[in-house]
Each structure stands twice: as C-alpha cells, then as structure tokens.
Amino acid sequence: MPRVGVLALQGDVREHVSMLEDVGADVVTVRRAEQMDDLDGLVLPGGESTTIAYLLTTSGIRPVLERKLEEGFSVFGTCAGLILLSSEILDGRSDQWSYGALDVSVRRNGYGRQIASFESAVDVVGVGPVPGVFIRAPKIETWWGDVEVLATLDHGDGAHPVLVRQKNVWGCSFHPELTNDLRVHELFTSSL
C-alpha cells in the first residue's frame, strides 16, 4: 500500500484524499515540510496556481519538494498542480514560478475562463475513456524530451495533451478527482 501525500494548502484536497483512499493508498494531508518524509508520492491538487505557489513558499515546503523532485520523487499534478510542475508558464504573472519538473509549456486557463468549463471523455492509454472535468484548465501547448503523452483532447483547435508523464512526474489538465472514476488515480498509485 503506497503512502501518498496530498498537498493540503489550497484546492481540491478532500476530493483527492477520497479517491486515493478508495484505491487503497495510505494518505497523508501535507501542510508542513516535515510531513514530506516517508512518502512514496505526492499529489499537487487543482486550485489557484499562484496561491498554491505562495503557500508552498511560506510553509517551507517549496525547497523540500524541489530537492525531492531532483531525487526522482513521484508527483502527480492536476490542473494548478500541472502548472506548478511545468517548465514554462504562458500567460502567467511576472512573479510566477514553477518547479520545471515536466518538459511542457502550459497556458493558464488555456481552455477558457470559469464560464467556459466543460466535461469531455478523455481516452487514456492503457485505460480507455475516462471522464474529464475541465475547469479553467491549463492547456499543454508544447512538450519535448522524454514526455510521454497518455491522453489528448481536441477541443476545436487540434489535439493537445491533457495527461502526461515524464519519468516519475505526472501532469493532468483536467480534474479526475471530481468524478467517480478511480482509474487515473490507480494509474498513478500503481507506478509507485
């Protein structure tokens, strides 16, 4: 049973905790740097990316997670979490930072603002169609290196990746935690 942390500073914490418990993980809500010890992986939830980045810094978690990422730690970022893991943020604030752990460029609110939120089936490699909930979702504009594309979506402007993996780091544009389908969380936890 993997021990998985969910960053619990802001965002879809409760929903991720529930999904991870349902797939059999031992879940820790992470609010302090010392809670990062002895984890097999971490989920960076959706929320507001600049707020989460600020709270990562003020909580002291930012440098701890940076070191762990450099050591090959497994992290799954959904929506805002994907933005925080990306190498480049398009349309971000001038003071916005990211870990640079995924070789992707993401556009904040790439599928539209809150009013343009939508749901669409997403075909995940090796899993099949899963429900995708897109709320102010980041759009992966470019990707390079050894980024593996696990799912794409064509929302009228060509297919863009919506679920990617690069070694132990995963990024997802949509919110798998806002559905009843456990398979995306199972995919991550089975890799730990």
Q: Give the residue from 51, 5, 52 showing the smallest Cα distance to 29.
A: 5
Question: Any catalytic annotation for residue 160?
Answer: no
- Catalytic option among 16, 79, 160, 172: 79
Q: Are 165 and 148 in contact (CB under 8 A)?
A: yes
How far from 113 is each of 117, 118, 135, 141, 146, CA to CA, in Å? Answer: 7, 11, 8, 17, 30
CA atoms within 13 A on the CB side of 181: 18
Indicate which residue of 15, 16, 172, 177 is catalytic: 177
Candidates 116, 146, 130, 111; CA nearest to 180 is: 130
Coarse DSSP helix, strand, coil percentages of the chain, rounded to the nearest 5 percent: 30, 35, 35
CA dist 92 and 89 (Å) reads 6
Phi, psi (degrees; rounded to nearest 5) at 19: -60, -45
Q: Is 132 exposed, middle or buried (0-12, 13-18, 19+ CB in 10 A)?
A: buried
Active site residue 175: yes
> Is 172 marked active-site?
no
Q: Write down the catalytic residue from 16, 160, 172, 175.
A: 175
Q: How far apart are the first and last CA of the chain?
A: 9
* Residues with a known catalytic role: 79, 175, 177
